[in-house]
């Protein structure tokens, strides 16, 4: 199990107790070995997917230690313990965490400098102390939670819409994803074939070099394997090899495991996949607020 970032604070400071320079990647490796992390745990990513979870946690520990002046960083990703850090170790603490760091004036000064409102700052500090996630993880998990709620709202709303509106939604999404050319061109074919289980046809690219056949169904129950087989049969009747089956519900295990014996390629998109694609491509949603997270460009400061 990956330890939370407050749990690894004391071990990291102890690793620096020899007063020597330590590289971030060496501290990371030592923490991974100390807690016997599996390869999968070492590679597990934070919600943003930009770095591993354990790297993110070790990195944030060094950030907090620098602000508390327990360590210094003479070079990028290089750390040395300070006299203050050694004094902390001499006191033989059972645990070092954010509550512990809150007692250090330098740390508190840095934290409070982020907000001029004392009560709001104190509330934030207490909230941060009570969590086991780093600020970046908190942001990522909050985003995931909000996105999850939006997915549920979208699915419920789509199910309330008429079948014709659902077909138009599917066309709008596929166009945003790069299929079908213009909205006018795509609208001429969707919902007009109604031939053997095919609800529409759309160009695979803007030049119309190939076509994709679509089945879009507003269902409440799971879509089973027989329905997928019927769709494959309908594609064969048209001499088509590519199809997209979109539903507001979900697919059974047998449906997902079904593989046509011919060269037909079928993509299954259930309600959750549909909602996620709508969010990704901006269909039926609008941006409420943007948070742009930046980091220091160390290359800029190279002389």
CATH number at residue 189: 3.40.1350.10
Cβ atoms 54, 44 nearer than 8 A: yes
Note the pLDDT of residue 15: 97
Note the pLDDT of residue 14: 97
Does 51 map to a domain? yes
Mean pLDDT of 170-175: 86
pLDDT at 260 over 50: yes
pTM over 0.85: no
Residues of the chain with pLDDT > 90: what percent?
43
Residues 162 and 200 occupy one common structural domain:
yes
**Strands 265-269 vs 242-247: parallel, antiparallel or unpaired:** parallel
Residues 197 and 247 occupy one common structural domain:
yes
Note the pLDDT of residue 124: 45
Mean pLDDT of 181-188: 60
pLDDT interval class at 184 (50, 70, 90): low
Does 25 map to a domain? yes
pLDDT at 283 over 50: yes
Our CA angle for 195, 198, 204, nearest 5°, is 125
pLDDT interval class at 118 (50, 70, 90): very low
Mean pLDDT of 164-187: 78
Mean pLDDT of 257-282: 90
pLDDT at 303 over 60: yes
Note the pLDDT of residue 116: 43
Residues 119 and 166 occupy one common structural domain:
no
Residues 18 and 94 occupy one common structural domain:
yes
* 72 phi and psi angles, rounded to 5 deg: -130, 160
End-to-end CA distance of the chain: 42
User: What's the token pair of residue 258?
Assistant: 């079904």
Note the pLDDT of residue 302: 67
Question: How many domains does the chain fold into?
Answer: 2
Write the CB contacts of 205 (distance below 8 Å, at least 6 apart in sequence).
178, 179
Does 101 map to a domain? yes
Mean pLDDT of the chain: 84
Note the pLDDT of residue 134: 83
Note the pLDDT of residue 121: 43
| Dist CA 247 CA 65 (whole Å) | 51
Residues 100 and 187 occupy one common structural domain:
no
Cβ atoms 187, 164 nearer than 8 A: no
Does 299 map to a domain? no
pLDDT at 191 over 60: no
pLDDT tens digits, 3-62:
999 999 999 999 999 999 999 999 999 999 999 999 999 999 987 777 899 999 999 999
Residue 232's domain comprises 157-281
Q: Is the dihedral of CA 45, 50, 55, 57 positive or negative?
A: negative
Residues 48 and 83 occupy one common structural domain:
yes
Mean pLDDT of 250-258: 92
């Amino acid at each position: 199990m990956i330890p939370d970032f407050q749990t690894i604070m004391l071990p990291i400071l102890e690793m620096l107790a020899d007063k020597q320079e330590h590289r971030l990647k060496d501290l990371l490796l030592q923490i991974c070995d100390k807690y016997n992390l599996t390869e999968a745990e070492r590679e597990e990513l934070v919600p943003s997917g930009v770095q591993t979870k354990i790297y993110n946690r070790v990195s944030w520990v060094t950030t907090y230690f620098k602000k508390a002046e327990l360590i210094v960083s003479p070079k990028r990703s290089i750390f040395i313990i300070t006299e203050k850090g050694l004094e902390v170790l001499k006191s033989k603490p059972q645990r070092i965490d954010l509550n512990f760091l809150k007692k250090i004036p330098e740390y508190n000064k840095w934290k409070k400098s982020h907000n001029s409102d004392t009560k709001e700052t104190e509330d934030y500090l207490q909230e941060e102390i009570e969590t086991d996630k780093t600020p970046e993880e908190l942001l990522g998990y909050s985003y995931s939670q909000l996105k999850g709620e939006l997915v549920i709202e979208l699915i419920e709303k789509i199910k309330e819409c008429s079948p014709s509106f659902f077909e138009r939604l599917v066309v709008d999404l596929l166009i945003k994803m790069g299929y079908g050319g213009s909205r006018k061109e795509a609208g001429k074919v969707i919902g007009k074939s109604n031939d053997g289980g095919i609800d529409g046809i759309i160009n695979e690219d803007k030049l119309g070099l190939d076509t994709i056949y679509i089945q879009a169904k507003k269902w409440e129950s799971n879509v089973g394997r027989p329905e997928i087989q019927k769709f494959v049969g309908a594609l064969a009747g048209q001499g088509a090899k590519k199809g997209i089956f979109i539903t507001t519900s979900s697919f059974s295990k047998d449906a997902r495991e079904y593989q046509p014996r011919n060269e037909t390629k079928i993509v299954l998109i259930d309600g959750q996949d549909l909602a996620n694609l709508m969010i990704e491509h901006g269909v039926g949603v609008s941006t409420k607020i943007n948070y742009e997270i930046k980091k220091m460009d160390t290359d800029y400061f190279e002389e």
